[in-house]
Amino acid sequence: MGDRTRGSRRVTSPVVTGAGESYAAAFDELSSAAAIPSGAQSIRRAAFDRFASLGFPTTKNEDWHFTSVAPIAEQEFTLVIAKSGDVKRGDLDRFMFGTKSWHTMVFVNGRFAPELSDIARLPAGVKVRDLASAWDKAPKSTDRIGRVTSYDNSAFTALNTAFMYDGAIIEIEKETEAAGDAPADLTVGDLRKEPPR
């Protein structure tokens, strides 16, 4: 059972907990192999602890009454920490919907792939960077990561916060006009040879 606060009352809701051990092992692996600043790691740890407490919701949970997350909760996923350098531009065709003139940031298996991206021609006042390198190279850009939305009552938000490492940071200075400029495209593809187990 997981505890939730709704208004001023506490509601106990059933949870699916079967995959807990594999998520705990993956979290420990991520924490040691993909280091981030200690403040962000504290947020990650608190979010994982909250996910462990909440578990996955079931259809007996009021917010998920009409949606079963059992296929997700019962699926065993493999954590991919290292970048995969064996992806070619042609492998991305099925994920692309823009044109070559678009500003494109490509993530392969959850990790930024600069060799497949095109963010060098951004308009003045726009900065785009990957989160994994921003932790060290642009720490001010990461100040609000993990603090924008609450994971207290949402297992999926808690799980995503716990496993945060890479992603896109887009900063646009005030008064910046990009009208007529090419759109930005964040392409995320799962290109493992085998699907998640």
Query: Which residues are within 8 A (CB) of 6 and not within 5 positions of it... i.e. 6 or more apart?
Result: none
Cα–Cα dist 110/166, whole Å = 7
Instruction: Tell me the average pLDDT of the chain.
Output: 80
What pLDDT shows up at residue 16? 44
Domain layout of the chain by residue ranges? 2-189
What are the tens digits of pLDDT across the range 80-119? 777 766 788 777 777 777 677 788 888 888 888 888 888 8
Q: Tell how far CA 176 is from the center of its chain.
A: 27
Residue type, 128: V
Asked if 9 contacts 111 with a C-beta cutoff of 8 angstroms, the reply is no
Report the share of the chain in percent with pLDDT over 90. Answer: 21
What pLDDT shows up at residue 131? 92
Tokens of 62: 């009021």
What are the tens digits of pLDDT across the range 150-192? 999 999 999 999 999 899 998 888 988 776 667 778 877 766 5
What are the tens digits of pLDDT across the range 120-160? 888 888 889 999 889 888 888 888 888 888 999 999 999 99
| DSSP assignment of 3-23 | EEEETTEEEEE-EE-TTHHHH
Within 10 angstroms of residue 180's Cβ, the number of other Cβ atoms is: 6
pTM of the entire predicted model: 0.76
